[in-house]
Amino acid sequence: MKKLLLIISTLGVLSGCARTFNADSDKIFFTGQSGAGYIQSISVDESRPNKDELKKITIHGMAYVDATVYYSVVWFDRDHVKLNTTLSKSTLEHLRKNQPFYWSAVAPNQKAVDYKVYISDRAL
């Protein structure tokens, strides 16, 4: 009976601490002190551009707490060389507890084929 009680209580603790955090580890990076502590889930959807279109991404997720964060998207060419653009500047966002958020970004030009998203508690 003690073992069963121990197993049930352990499962309860583990399920209470479980996160649905599904950030793409090679696309989304947390910096500063906020880290992933503010965000309970996050993912990125990419558009599949036609020949004449620019690549677009949508970053979406849910926050644990009310918080102010900054995000920036850094774009890279096919050789993984960083593209210098003003579009990589930080954008201020206000997260609301248990409310979804949606951020979007468009590639600066046709050369941009890859990206990294940086999220921080201060401007990047």
Q: Where are the domains of the chain?
A: 20-120
- What is the torsional sign of CA 103, 116, 120, 60? positive
Total residues belonging to the chain: 124
59's enclosing H/E stretch is: strand 56-63
d(CA 44, CA 104): 9
* Share above pLDDT 70 across residues of the chain, in percent, rounded to a whole number: 76
Has residue 17 got a pLDDT over 50?
no
The three-state secondary structure class of 33 is coil
As its CATH architecture, domain 20-120 has: Sandwich (2.60)
Has residue 56 got a pLDDT over 80?
yes
d(CA 29, CA 106): 18
Which of 27-31, 63-67, 88-92, 98-102 is modeled with the greatest confidence?
98-102
Among candidate residues 26, 21, 22, 23, the one with its CA nearest the CA of residue 115: 26
